[in-house]
Amino acid sequence: MKIALIAGTRPEIVKLAPVRDAMNALPDLQSWWLATGQHGSLAEQAMGVFDIVPDRQLSLNWTKSSLPSLFARLIEGLAEEYERSGPDMVIVQGDTASAYAGATAAHMLRIPVAHVEAGLRSGDLANPFPEEGFRRMIAPITDLHFAPTRAARDNLRAENIDDDKILVTGNTVVDAVEALGDNDVRPAALDDVAPGANIVLVTAHRRENWGEGIDSICEAVLDLRGRFSNTHFILPAHANPRVRDAVNQLLAGEPQISVVDPLSYPEFIGVLKRSSLVLSDSGGVQEEAPSFGVPVLVLRERTERMEAVKAGTALLVGTDRARIVTEASRLLADPRARLKMTKRGNPFGDGNAGIRIVAACRDFLQSSGPAAPKGGLLSRLGLGTTSIAMAE
């Protein structure tokens, strides 16, 4: 049974790598990796980290095309690859253009679709944009919904998705982080950090934060630098020129601040695990940081990962300069407050999500039915559903 894995961005690659590994452990399944090239060199780095050589690679210009024209070419290119390779199932991850196009092309060709990280919702089509729309539109054409948490499952139920099509699995990023956690990479980005200094990792790239939002975040970093002389701020500059140029203009060359090139995933984890605090508008960071006991201030007005907020590992602060400074100052000044935010561990998984996903796909294909398995391989592995205390 051939299962296609569609990935174009670094987060997709990181979160589908554990699925591919679990699939390759079963002799009756064949993984077929299709790379869309959405993140270019970042995607290539991530595939190298997880020893992934794509079976097929689309050739699209992601930097000089509008999203609608790219999407049209994605649909056409993916459909051609599906017809050429004949997968029995297509797996997409998350809420990117690659994921939506991958699911849509499969649906048009009557190929079953499985959605990893299904059910995330912010409730606002403008935040994040266009991802909230993509993931909502994937749901009705999906045969297997792999919800990372119970809250994501409940979102799908509220949209009248059949309960038999939903399986709570945990998030595969926890599988990936645990696999890399023992690989203690010390990135060159740490070379300018003074011995004993606290590290604050800052990432910002969301489309809705372009312009005033990015400027406000950078100004908050400058304010915090002035308040905390024993703190070093590391900002991996996003590849998008609209983000990178603004960050470089405001922060490059400033004392206690390192604006660095995009980090490979092991390097990113190497900085994250050594950080005292993260300021980020990224969704994935909200899932990764709790594994290392690092609190996150979320630089967004809304998050589809409210499990982190409810568990106390993350706090929504938006892009208001004063609020970022107030909340970050409170945490940087009080190690006990930071510890309180992360003492409950990671609410997003137990490291076995990839195994659950592959077992469910295998049972689905063997039974040729839409029901998520009640027995089969999952039961034999003792992994029918997650038993971890994930946040509602």
d(CA 268, CA 280): 13
Report the phi/psi class of residue 30: left, alpha or beta, with left for phi > 0 and alpha for psi in -120 to 50: beta
CA distance 228 to 333: 9
Alpha-carbon span 207 to 254, nearest angstrom: 25
208 catalytic per annotation: no
- Let me know: does 349 contact 386? Beta carbons within 8 Å: yes
Nearest to 200 by CA among 180, 227, 172: 227
**Is 12 a known active-site residue?**
no
Distances (CA, A) of 7 to 91, 92, 343, 368, 384: 9, 7, 33, 25, 27
DSSP structure class, residue 327:
H
Q: Which of 98, 91, 44 is nearest to 353 (CA)?
A: 91
Select which of 95, 132, 287, 327 is catalytic.
95
Q: Could you confirm whether 205 is annotated as catalytic?
A: yes
Is 117 assigned a catalytic role?
yes
Alpha-carbon span 213 to 350, nearest angstrom = 34
Catalytic pick among 136, 157, 207, 302: 207
Residue 392 annotated among the catalytic residues of the structure: no
What is the CA 295 to chain-centroid distance, rounded?
Answer: 17
**Catalytic: 238?**
yes
Cβ neighbours, 10 Å, residue 215: 17
Asked whether the beta carbons of 356 and 167 are under 8 A apart, the reply is: yes
Of 205, 305, 338, 362, the active-site residue reads 205
Nearest to 139, CA basis, from 92, 73, 180: 92
Segment (H or E) for 83? helix 67-85
> Which residue among 10, 121, 238, 356 is the active-site one?
238
**How far apart are alpha carbons 225 and 244 in whole angstroms?**
20
> Which CA distances in Å does 236 have to 188, 240, 260, 269?
12, 12, 5, 12
Q: How many helices (H) and strands (E) does the chain have?
A: 16, 13
**Which residue among 12, 81, 131, 288 is the active-site one?**
131
Q: Exactly one of 12, 21, 117, 132 is catalytic; which is it?
A: 117
Name which of 9, 206, 208 is nearest 99 in CA terms. 9
- Using CA atoms, how far residue 54 sits from 85, 173, 384, in Å, is 13, 20, 31
| Catalytic annotation, residues | 95, 117, 131, 205, 207, 238
